[in-house]
A and B are shown apart, each in its own frame.
Chain A
Amino acid sequence: MNRFTTSILVLALTCLFSSAQAQTINWGSLKAENKQLITVNAGLEYGAVYGIGYGYKINNRLFPIIATVEYSAPTGDKPYDDFKTKIGGQIRWVKLNNFQFSTKLHGVFRSYQNELVRMLNFGSDLSGIAGYYRPNWFVAGELGFDKAIVTHFDHSQAYREQYPGVVDGWYEPATGGNLYYGLQTGVSFRRHDISVRAGKLLRQDFKTAPMLPFYGQLGYTIRF
Chain B
Amino acid sequence: MQGAVTVRVSSSPHLTAGITTPVIMRDVLIALMPATIAGVVFFGLHTALIIILSVVTAVVSEALIQKVLGRPVTINDMSAAVAGLLFALVLPPTVDLWLSVVGAFLAIFVGKQVFGGLGYNPFNPALVGRAIVMASWPVAMTTWTWPSVGSLEAAIGGAAGNAGLDALSGATPLALMKYHGIQVSYKSLFLGDVAGCIGETSVLALLVGAAYLLYRGHITWHTPVAFMGTVAVMMVIMGQDPLFHLLSGGLVIGAFFMATDYVTSPYTPKGQLIFGIGCGILTALIRIYGGYPEGVCYAILLMNAATPLIDRYAKPKRFGEVTQSA
- The judgment on whether A and B are partners is no
Which residue numbers of A lie inside 8 Å of B, CB to CB?
none
Which residue numbers of B lie inside 8 Å of A, CB to CB?
none
